[in-house]
Amino acid sequence: MEGKIYKILIVEDIPSDAKLMERNLKSAGLDFISKRVESEECFLQELNEFLPDLILADYKLPSFDGLTALKYSLQYDLNLPVIFVSGSIGEEFAIGTIKAGAKDYVFKDNLQKLGPAVIRALHERDEIFERQRAEDELRKSELRYRTLIERMNEGIVQVDVNNIILFVNDRFCKMMGYDESELLKKVLHKILLDQDKQKFFIEKSKEVIEGKSERFEVEMKKKDDGYLVMEVSAAPIFDNRNDVIGSIGIYSDITERKEAEQALIDSKEKAEEMNRLKTSFLANMSHELRTPMIGILGFSQLLYDEIKDPVLKENARIIYDSGKRLTETLNQILDLSRIESNKLVMNLAPLNIADIINDSAKIFETVVSKKDLKLEINISNNNLSSNLDRRMFTHAVQNLINNAIKYTDSGKITINLGEETIDDRDWVVISVADTGIGIDEKNQEIIFESFRQVSEGLNRKFEGVGLGLTITKKFVELMGGKITLQSKIGSGSTFIIKFPAIISNINNDVHMMQTKEIQNNNKVEIKKSEKPEVLYVEDDLASQTVVSLFLGHICNVTITPTGESAIRMAKEKHYDLILMDVNLEGRMDGLETTKAILELPGYKDIPVIAITAYAMVGDKEKFLAGGCTHYISKPFERSQLVSMVKEILSV
């Protein structure tokens, strides 16, 4: 009431009486403004324009009367208080005015009662307004929340402590295919869950009404057909005394998400299975392709050495070269699959780079001279070294030189070895530049992708599977290096590889520290006059013949196809070296046979070379751990096998 100025309309024909009333109200402490009217017309006008908060009305006026004013006022606003202020009516009439809807009546001869009566009436009116406003607000906010809940994209369900449904929103009904009336008053888990899910739901509901908020997933049965996977977030509802009276749950349909998750899991499992299959397929393929290669490469090499007729000799060379190419392709595919399945084992060691470059370049001398090209090597520092895997690095360098030669018809190939400091780090820089066909800009990135070549399709101009640079790049990066390319079509290409340099002052000896591919501590003492005795356990006819022919001039090779026969023979005669194929016919494999032979008297320290077409990652380690002292993978070069055997037997 404080601070508010009220508007009071006085229906009175005697101005002095009106003044008296005003004075009375003032002295009662009321803040107000007032207007006086005495005709019906003016009254109605002020009712609409002055908008009074209270009306003081005389009972009888010359042209108007208080009861009519009361009637109009109540029509205008039921809560507009009208107080009769009159001198001429008796008590009975006064009570009649109250019955007709007046708030109060005050006699003119007792005006000191007017102030309190007006203040009381205005107070009541204010309270009514306040209550109406609060009710209005409540109604509005209820409407807001109801609309929100109805329109929500999630289902909302309220249940009591026995899971009896008290409220469901529209969305939930739509999701489950029921009308609201079909769900209300039903037990939620009985109507919406299969028997086997009900126990779980009841347990969860119990946890919720015990006061814990819960989030869980459950499969719910739709009215007509099918199921939905729902994610439920439920919370207890409390009454005024803080007792749990039920719970409210938000139901989100996550069926699609679940299906997508399951599809992802399935496809991951499938991919893993495929990967397992691929690995085992590759291992088998590798074995199956390598085994015949020993025959092709070995015999063509032997024929080439034996044959005198130049045409036939050339034919033998072609067979040998074709076999080599096939082996190379096979190796590339295997390398890529190892990289892709993260199964590549690196043996990083400080390597002298100049040595490897010189050795690699030597291999290409014949091809270079045949193509009328020049090969130039510029080595700025013979002592540069880096932490590298010998096989991978050699492969990368040789691949770049091989490509340079392959894609250049005239001019020269230049190999530079130098160093560079970038951001305080020293790098070894190897570049292979050619004056060949060059690579246009749009192809400079794709050539590093698997199976991509600049000239593709049926009219491609160069042989190769498009894996060389992919593998080179991966090898370089796995060893911590970088590969870049500068090229101009028609002018040539320069491939640059960089590796972090090892700063060392014992550079000259670095290459001495390299890990040796082949252990050579199992040397055998043979009496000068005798040829060493070698037992070769092998079931593949081509391999048997090739190895015998390769080694015939340095040792006596005895061949036996099974593990069982090998053990028997080793018991009967002492052999200086065992060559062991791993995949043998018969009951025993090569590793079992090796173990059994090494347990025989006098065989504890006998060297065993695993000769096998199992050339996948980890195979070599497996054979060495299984008792073999050396390992050579099929197909191998005559020189590789001969020098290994010579070294072991010291012949």
Positions touching ligand ADP (CB under 6 A) are 403-404, 407, 434, 436-437, 439, 447, 453-455, 462, 464-470, 493
- Closer by beta carbon to ligand ADP, 252 or else 486: 486
Q: How far is the CB of 250 from ligand ADP (least distance, A)?
A: 57
Q: Are 582 and 593 in contact (CB under 8 A)?
A: no
Pairing of strands 244-253, 348-352: unpaired
Residue 569's SS3 state is helix
Q: How far is the CB of 489 from ligand ADP (least distance, A)?
A: 9
Q: How far is the CB of 495 from ligand ADP (least distance, A)?
A: 7
Q: Which long-range contacts (CB under 8 A, 24 or more apart) does 290-293 make?
A: 290/327, 290/330, 290/613, 290/615, 290/633, 290/634, 290/635, 291/540, 291/542, 291/543, 291/613, 291/634, 292/542, 293/323, 293/326, 293/327, 293/330, 293/634, 293/635
- Closer by beta carbon to ligand ADP, 69 or else 439: 439
Phi, psi of 600 (to 5 degrees): -70, 150
Q: How far is the CB of 407 from ligand ADP (least distance, A)?
A: 3
CA distance 460 to 28: 111
- Closer by beta carbon to ligand ADP, 269 or else 449: 449
- Closer by beta carbon to ligand ADP, 102 or else 469: 469
CA distance 500 to 116: 100
Query: Please, what is the angle between helix 563-572 and helix 590-598, to 10°?
Result: 20
Which residue(s) pair with 84 in the sheet?
57, 105
CA distance 629 to 618: 15
Residue nearest to ligand ADP (CB): 464
Q: How far is the CB of 403 from ligand ADP (least distance, A)?
A: 3
Q: How far is the CB of 316 from ligand ADP (least distance, A)?
A: 26
Q: Are 275 and 341 in contact (CB under 8 A)?
A: yes
Distances, alpha carbon 439 to alpha carbons 449, 485, 562, in Å: 14, 9, 54
Q: Which amino acid is at 503?
A: I
CA distance 352 to 283: 33
Extract the tokens encoding 115.
Answer: 């102030």
Q: How far is the CB of 445 from ligand ADP (least distance, A)?
A: 11
Q: Are 251 and 156 in contact (CB under 8 A)?
A: yes
- Closer by beta carbon to ligand ADP, 281 or else 462: 462
Q: How far is the CB of 341 from ligand ADP (least distance, A)?
A: 20
Q: How far apart are the first and last CA of the chain?
A: 122
Q: How far is the CB of 286 from ligand ADP (least distance, A)?
A: 19
- Closer by beta carbon to ligand ADP, 467 or else 649: 467
- Closer by beta carbon to ligand ADP, 235 or else 330: 330
- Closer by beta carbon to ligand ADP, 97 or else 472: 472
Biggest alpha carbon distance in the chain? 162
Q: How far is the CB of 439 from ligand ADP (least distance, A)?
A: 5
Extract the tokens encoding 473.
Answer: 């790049």
- Closer by beta carbon to ligand ADP, 220 or else 437: 437
- Closer by beta carbon to ligand ADP, 251 or else 407: 407
Extract the tokens encoding 604.
Answer: 């504890």
